Structure 1
Amino acid sequence: MSERFIATELTGEPGEKAEQIVWEAICQAFKQKAEQEECLAYWQYPLFPPKFSNVLRRPDILIAEKELGLIVIEVKGIKIDDLQAIQGDDWLMKPGFYSPSIHPYKQAEKQLKAVTGHFILIDDLWNQVLGRAMVALPYITRKQWQEKSFTQIAAKVPIIFGDELAPKDLLKIIRNSSLVIPGNQLNKTQWKNLELVISGRPVPIIPINPPSPELYLKQAAIDKLNKYLYEIDIKQEHIGKTIPPGVQRFSGIAGSGKTVLLCQKAANMHLKHPDWDIALIFFT
């Protein structure tokens, strides 16, 4: 699988199997875009809570794509018999379900807006990135949904059903889904900046005054080096965001970024497991 599809951690929690079904379908649907380096997707994207809030927003699936912008998909592993009625944003569940009601679309909307909050100080991205929020129901077919007379809500809420996970069907549904955040198709520079923001890396500051002619050769060399470093960073992003089920070992020369990866891993582990004691040990 492409390094641009990042599954941060598998824990065996309830609902993970349903997420895996949708995740594997996403990987197939966006495979070509990933090969063209125009897609970056996360299963369980690590989004830190806002200041003074204990609410952890962790999108089930987050997709960043050059043409389509950002897509947040909230996956619900419910079956048609679990659902009793739908009243506005409230999905009322039958007795015995873990919660009397769920709000999947509102969840996806809030997570999308939390992600786009990182763009507020970046002129090149603010009000430019398209945003979609969707719900995926891998254990329910569209026919089952219609038989329960839930068609009206399906017209208002973008829903991906279990019989619509083939790559062509999935891409068509995403393309035709309504926008939560309006924007434009990104150019090459904006797309690179979006990748940097999503992966938690700083966006380069473009100087107001262009460099003098004698600096052009040096600038060309720096640009070429930056491109190489960026390609390496995608691999580092994959390593830094994932938590393996057992022992993991990586090595590299001095200055290759080993400590950065360790710190990133420690931060992500603390985000998901605040009760863990995590120690970063080093020697010189």
Structure 2
Amino acid sequence: MPIQVIPDRSGLRENSFASDLISYFEDNESSLCLGNCYVFYDFPILTNEDNTLLRASVLLISENKGLTLFGTTLARTGDVESIDTDDEILDELYSLIYSKLIKYRELRENRKELSFSFETILYAPGFDNYTGDLLSLAINRFGELKAVYKKIDNTINSNTINKIISIVDGSVVLPRPKLRKNVTSGSKGDLVNKLEAEITTFDNKQRHGYMQHNTGVQRIRGLAGSGKTVILAMKAALAHLENPNATILLTFYTKSLYQLVQ
């Protein structure tokens, strides 16, 4: 199964190092033994306690290798201050994502640990022979990734992967109907459960709809119940994160949508 990039690359901010990383994963998926793999590019976007905006360069979710959060740095050899700063930012992003994941019992090994590997790697192609102490592993050549992933053997099932993705993309907060209990596999009740579970998660087109950076007019089309209002609300939330002092006007026709948008 080809690596799924979330969202697709068109319309996103240009980060050549992150783009190069994704291309490397796509070209070496088999030799890295990634299995089913999803890559968030330029996402998630989070804020810390000081309301500073932090943006992940690449977050890789692999069936066989767990999670890897990648940071990128423009630091050149000798620029210790810059690489240390970028390493601290990466560690802060890691802590924010970890705190979201650890809330869910099905993702925990115990109260303090996740049930899967979660690593951080700082890609620094312009920095050689760093001798200081970094919080994350620093690499400057893609070839080093093979040695890193060779040491990780951490299979996670599809349900866990889907849960992680829903937490990262925000769909975990969508209202979910109660599952029908005591249904047999393949029955109508089972099929309805699966359909409702699918509806309450984002597909790639929906993710692209709200993650895409767009400075002009964007039109979102879809059938009734396809999630247009949710996508619009998510887009407004991201716009607020990036521009907290901006005035954002969001209009809708029915009072019943207020709770959903809120």
Q: Which of 216, 225, 245 is equivalent to 2:195?
A: 225
Letter matched to residue 221 of structure 1: L
3-state DSSP of counterpart to 2:71:
strand
What residue in structure 2 maps to residue 64 of structure 1?
A: 61
Deviation, structure 1 residue 156: 8.4
Partner of 2:139: 160
In the other structure, the counterpart of 2:42 is 44
Instruction: After TM superposition, give the deviation of residue 31 of structure 1 in Å.
Output: 9.2
TM-score, scaled to structure 2:
0.73
Q: What percent identity do the matched residue pairs reach? A: 20
Q: Could you list the runs of 5+ residues in structure 2 that have no partner in the other structure?
A: 109-113, 255-262
Residue 226 (structure 1) shift: 4.0
| CA–CA separation in structure 1 for the residues paired with 2:101 and 2:120 | 17
Give the Å deviation of 1:251: 0.9
AA in 1 matched with 2:192: I
Q: Does 1:76 align with 2:52?
A: no
Structure 2 equivalent of residue 251 of structure 1: 221
Matched, 1:5 2:1: no
Aligned match for 2:181, one of 211, 216, 233? 211
Question: What's the CA shift for 1:102?
Answer: 3.2
User: How much is the aligned-residue C-alpha RMSD, in angstroms?
Assistant: 3.9
User: How many Å separate the matches in 1 of 2:157 and 2:185?
Assistant: 26
CA distance in 2, matches of 1:250, 1:31: 36
1:124–1:231 CA distance, 2 compared to 1 (3 A): closer
- CA 1:68–1:119: 2 relative to 1, 3 Å: same
How does the TM-score come out when normalised to structure 1?
0.68
- Taking the aligned partners of 1:26 and 1:214, their CA distance within structure 2 comes to 39
Distance 1:219 1:32 in 2: 41
Task: Give deviations 1:203-257, integer Å, cap 9, x for gaps.
Answer: 87997xx933689723222144246537862321222222224332221111111
Structure 2 contact 11–212 (Cα < 8 Å) conserved: yes
**2:259 corresponds to:** none
1:189 and 2:189 are equivalent in the alignment: no
**Structure 2 counterpart SS, 1:48:** strand
1:9–1:44 CA contact under 8 A, matched in 2: no
- Distance in 1, matches of 2:154 and 2:105, equals 14
CA distance in 1, matches of 2:230, 2:31: 30
Letter of the aligned partner of 1:4 in structure 2?
Answer: V
Instruction: Please say which structure displays the higher CA radius of gyration.
Output: 1
Gaps of 5+ in 1: 85-90, 94-100
